[in-house]
Amino acid sequence: MDKNLLDINPKKEKNKITDFLKSTLNKQKIKNVIIGLSGGIDSMTSFYLLKDVLPPENIFIAHLYYFEKSFDDLDKVIKAAGLPSENIHYLSIKKPVDAICELLRIGDNKIRIGNVIARIRMIILYDLAKKYNALVCGTENKSEHYLGYFTRFGDEASDMEPTRHLYKTQLYQLASYLDIPKEFIAKHPTAGLWEGQTDEKEFGFSYRDADPILYLYFDKKMTLENIKNMGFANAEKIINFANKNAYKHNTPYVLK
């Protein structure tokens, strides 16, 4: 297989995405955007793209954390972008999440707790969007999308998705081109749903392993057998993971 299979032209990608953002905002006649900024590479890349499209006063940030964190790295980036202080929201979601978990007697079920966390975040983002007459900018990538690695009506909910067409490994290329600080690029991808949680621990494989397989299977329509014959040892595991979650892409099911 060509080792450059998933290489992108980051300059062209940046221009394409910023044109998309401008066009979407113009069509909807909305000038403000709110984004959930976790400090991971996905949200940071979307934030850097938004900075190229909108003046600072039209960008609103929500950092919605369940666990106590240091905000120093985020503060540096946000202050450098010149956002007004009233546009920046650092909000702990621990109390509402814990209250719902207690109400539903969820106990220590990590998946259910994680779903509550993701959906509480989206409730807050959409309330702030209403307050500021803003569109919610999503931060999903194509790898997460195909793998079904999202909470329905949670982190998957958005008004526009500037990077869903890019695989995670392609997102790293774009992030480097945008000159995003290395400390954000170097972080292990995580949804921040429980202590020590990372995407790749949950998968049992890496994005680097998954992306070419997902590309060949979904985009190039190659059979699983042909992909395995190309030497991809994890192909069956990765495609089974994606297919197990494929139902998420088709909800709600409706009578026709």
The string of pLDDT tens digits covering residues 32-72 is: 999 999 888 999 999 999 999 999 999 999 999 998 776 77
Q: pTM score, two decimals?
A: 0.91
Helix 168-177 to helix 10-28 angle (10° resolution) is 90
Distance CA 116, CA 119 (A): 5
Domains within the chain, CATH numbers bracketed:
10-188 (3.40.50.620)
Matching residue, tokens 């990590």: 110
Over residues 188-227, the pLDDT tens digits come to: 766 666 666 677 777 888 999 999 999 999 999 999 999 9
Over residues 70-111, the pLDDT tens digits come to: 677 888 899 899 999 999 999 999 999 999 999 999 999 999
Taking 3-state DSSP, the helix, strand and coil percentages for the chain, each rounded to the nearest 5, stand at 55, 10, 40
Matching residue, tokens 């992909």: 227
60 sits in which H/E element: strand 59-65
Q: State how far the alpha carbon of 192 is from the alpha carbons of 72, 92, 197, in Å.
A: 17, 13, 6
Nearest to 152 by CA among 47, 13, 63, 247: 247
